[in-house]
Amino acid sequence: MSRYALFGRSVSSSPSPRIHAAFARQTGIAMEYTAIDVEPQALGAALEAFVAGGGRGANITVPHKEAAFARCARLSDRARQAGAVNTLRLDQGQWYGDNTDGAGLVRDLTDRHGLDLRGRRTLLLGAGGAARGVAPALLEAGVGELVIVNRHPERADALADMLGEPARAHTRYWEDLATIGDFELIINATSAGRHDGSALMLPLALCNDMTAAVDLNYGDVAIAFLAWARSAGLRTIIDGLGMLVEQAAESFQLWHGVRPDTDAVYALLRQATPEPKAA
């Protein structure tokens, strides 16, 4: 039985093992998938031990996506563009790295939620591994403008430079949020409220009648941003559960050559994590 795993910090409660177990049953593929908690300084040793124990592939989550990128001998175009990896596959004893986050997000927003991303003025909050994974896919999906804002502006500038489309993708300061206009799509790729449960204070001036609010997180981690979206009276509020399932399906296809059906798996997980309600 081939072994696969999720590597991250505090991932013991992640639904990823359930997702891949469902995919395996659906496709008749024998595989084992576990979640492995690892601190940043121990990632290299953990991956080596995993391979020694028969590991064939892995998903990578916070805070290891950029570190995993540096460990790959080969990279997909989208991983190279993002500068971050969320999927590893062992090829002839070396890691091949991919990033399925962007494809997973776009498929969830367009296919499941019916959003047309073309031409939308988009605000991306955050510039870490999650933001780097989805930003190229958002541009490819046709958003009209991508404004990147991060509390550490140098990271936002680095992400914009990496995207290489200054006419469409550029940065502003966090302090300017109240004066940069409104958006049709706001995506939270930060961990605000993750550790202390604090409220996420964003100006209501960012919103208009068409604004869709999307958090790449789900469950308790998404509470702060989703609460703000409800307070703003937004009609379209989406958490990251669907993206999680879709990016997992992309990873599964990279490992096994077949893409599983995601609707039934999403519905199963949605029962335990209620869909966010609009105001």
Length of the chain: 279
Q: Would you state the pLDDT for residue 277?
A: 83
Q: Compute the distance between CA of residue 97 and CA of residue 261 in angstroms, rounded to an integer.
A: 23
Q: For residue range 167-224, list pLDDT tens digits in order.
A: 999 999 999 999 999 999 999 999 765 545 556 789 999 999 999 999 999 998 899 9
DSSP letter at 128?
A: S
Other C-beta atoms closer than 10 Å to the C-beta of 274 total: 9
What is the value of pTM for the model shown?
A: 0.94
Q: What is the mean pLDDT of the chain?
A: 95
Q: Compute the distance between CA of residue 250 and CA of residue 87 in angstroms, rounded to an integer.
A: 9
| Domain span(s) for CATH 3.40.50.10860 in the chain | 2-100+244-272
Q: How far is CA 49 from each of CA 87, 195, 261, rounded to the nearest angstrom?
A: 17, 30, 32
Q: Which is the CATH superfamily of the domain at 102-241?
A: NAD(P)-binding Rossmann-like Domain (3.40.50.720)
Going by the annotation, the residues of the binding site for NADP(+) are 77, 126-130, 216, 240
| Domain span(s) for CATH 3.40.50.720 in the chain | 102-241
Determine the CATH number of domain 2-100+244-272: 3.40.50.10860
Runs of H (alpha helix) within 74-222: 77-82, 101-107, 129-140, 153-163
- Point out the residues of the chain with pLDDT beneath 50: 195
H/E stretch holding 209: strand 207-215
Percentage of the residues of the chain whose pLDDT score is greater than 70? 97
Q: Would you state the pLDDT for residue 201?
A: 86
Going by the annotation, the residues of the binding site are 14-16, 61, 77, 86, 101, 126-130, 216, 218, 240, 247
Catalytic residues: 65
Going by the annotation, the residues of the binding site for shikimate are 14-16, 61, 86, 101, 218, 247
Query: Checking DSSP bridges between strand 121-125 and strand 94-98, what pairing results, if any?
Result: unpaired
List, edge to edge, every strand of the sheet that includes 145-150. 169-173, 145-150, 121-125, 183-188, 207-215, 236-238
